[in-house]
Structure 1
């Protein structure tokens, strides 16, 4: 839990515990959780796990306002006996403490994510790019002639200038959050707090100057996301690797393109009977393998230019590819077929549909 969240629950609990003491409850005590709530909102940000605590704080504020109104809006002698008798006051306090315990349980069980400290010497930057492969026709759209479109995110050794903003985990959380939650049969708001995580990753800083840097490409699993292994990409980038993660359009949870189009996963779009046959699975893995090849071709072209963040800074003689599940199968297939891959790794790789050739 974060500091002001703890302060909010602690001051609210103190207010309720006071009811069991042989003392009149001072008005300022009821204002402490209100102040903690304001500080929490300003410096940490709202999250749904704390909603019961917010409600309790609102009730305490209402009680203090009623007491003020009963006292003619004067602070003098405001610590007079409360509006309710002792027994009801204690019963309400017990109920309030129960609500605070529920809030505590939610906040601890579903915390704001924290990444372990990176161990490399480099600061880490990130950016995302929209790429179009005009040489390949999209096989998962009904229109003929649609090119293959993908989103790619990069994490890289950076030289921040101090003017960059901190990157967030999911830039399109308002769209992506409900989609990911639905995959796990969770309420749509379940992941709303993800972007409260403090990432020591900077948005669009310059690349570190002591390149060229080796390249690692990551492929997610079916219904996955390019951001799913952010902690691994961040760690690798801190050690001097340029890491690129592909959103394999239509096979990922969703892709949000710069023009606002959103492409969702739909198994019935990929597979004729909404479940993969062996031939259809091979076709999918081959497309993802071709996405990796296209990305490497594109990065090679960038490296040969004289402008752009990666110009002359990519060591494409040292390329590694890894992936998860279906993406692991694509990584295995790419490394088997393309000599540019010098190291490959499958994380629970689905290798059944890889080409026997």
Structure 2
């Protein structure tokens, strides 16, 4: 079966007998690297007590949720395959993301999609490069699962980061004053149309990424950074080589990835998946202001990856032009022909399944991910991102 294809499947009850499907069960394309059959995953709840939440006045600290994907020592006994989304997140996804992206309101069992990673499996205690992923504005970390699993299958530790208040839906393991168990996005439209909101989003994401790196350093030093005190998989801290750190992000995440590398020397390479490199002005009619990374240029590797059918492609090119004018040999560019803006995350594989099942019209699928088939786009995105990091942050143990 080619990447991105899927079919409705039955779920199972507690006795293990098949149940009738409650809707189309979408499939994430499988990873292809040497660790594809033994990927582990765990969630960490991280709390930065030095910052207040920027989106909700009633939350006195900054909370961040991450998922860590990694090559596992073994995945047998007691380490079930993880769902793409938690139960609480699925309910908010149905209420928020479905409307935003013109997804079908009925006929899909959004909670039934499984990953290829095993919850809590012991990590192979080999030092590996660490890659952080920051999703698009209003998107949750779960939509970067496919690429995260592919990179983990090729020997990387991949940390996908949720930015609460910005992300579509984030479920927390513990209660806290000022929010419910699942926190929805505050966005009601394109943040670039609200300059203060866009600036806050990018600044917060950069601070979140730097905080996550601090917490990973604590984990590598043998401490448990999970603020709920939940156990960390065996060997995970010993799998982190924080001398080799990269970051990749989609849309607003691409903006944050590039600027975070500019601000934090711990980051050795970055991938910007169709993120603007300027911030809109508060003054109507005034040109957007380039971010420092665009004005100064880069002294470490940066990949700029765009799509052919992005409606804001002209504005994107203008925002990238300032950086490209700086010259130097650290920047690489590429493009997904036939792709649209969300071809870079899991929608690239999922939207065509919805169209194929008659649940999503062609125009909605094309607006989301373009006309390119997932059998082409999924391997292409994975290859371009992996090739870039393999060149600049190579895995010394390529798997067995």
TM-score range, shorter chain: 0.5 to 0.7
Task: Specify which of 232, 245, 248 is matched with residue 160 of structure 2.
Answer: 245
For the Cα contact (< 8 Å) 2:202–2:256, is it kept in 1?
Answer: yes
Match of 1:94 in 2: none
Match of 1:282 in 2: 199
**1:330 aligned to 2:244?**
no
Match of 1:256 in 2: 171
Indicate the structure (1 or 2) with the bigger Cα radius of gyration. Answer: 1
Runs of at least 4 residues off by over 6 Å: none
Match of 2:242 in 1: 316
Structure 2 spans left out of the alignment, 5+ residues: 1-5, 175-179, 225-231, 280-289, 294-400
Q: TM-score, normalised by structure 1?
A: 0.65
Distance 1:182 1:205 in 2: 35
Match of 2:305 in 1: none
**1:115 aligned to 2:89?**
no
CA 1:191 to 1:253, structure 2 compared with 1: closer, same or farther past 3 Å?
farther
5 Å-filtered alignment, 1:1-357, equals: 45-49=19-23, 112-121=26-35, 123-143=38-58, 146-163=60-77, 164-172=79-87, 173-193=90-110, 195-197=112-114, 199-209=115-125, 211-259=126-174, 261-267=181-187, 275-277=193-195, 279-305=196-222, 308-309=232-233, 310-353=236-279, 355-356=291-292
The total of aligned residue pairs comes to 259
- For residue 175 of structure 1, report the CA deviation from its aligned partner: 3.6
Moved more, 312-321 or 167-176: 167-176
CA 1:127 to 1:152, structure 2 compared with 1: closer, same or farther past 3 Å?
same
Structure 1 spans left out of the alignment, 5+ residues: 6-36, 50-109
Specify which structure has the higher proportion of helix. 1
Alpha-carbon displacement from aligned partner over 1:161-208 (angstroms, at most 9, x marks no partner)? 5111111111222343343212224454454245244x3311111111
Distance 2:215 2:171 in 1: 20
For the Cα contact (< 8 Å) 1:176–1:254, is it kept in 2?
Answer: yes
SS of equivalent to 1:339: coil
Distance 1:337 1:297 in 2: 14
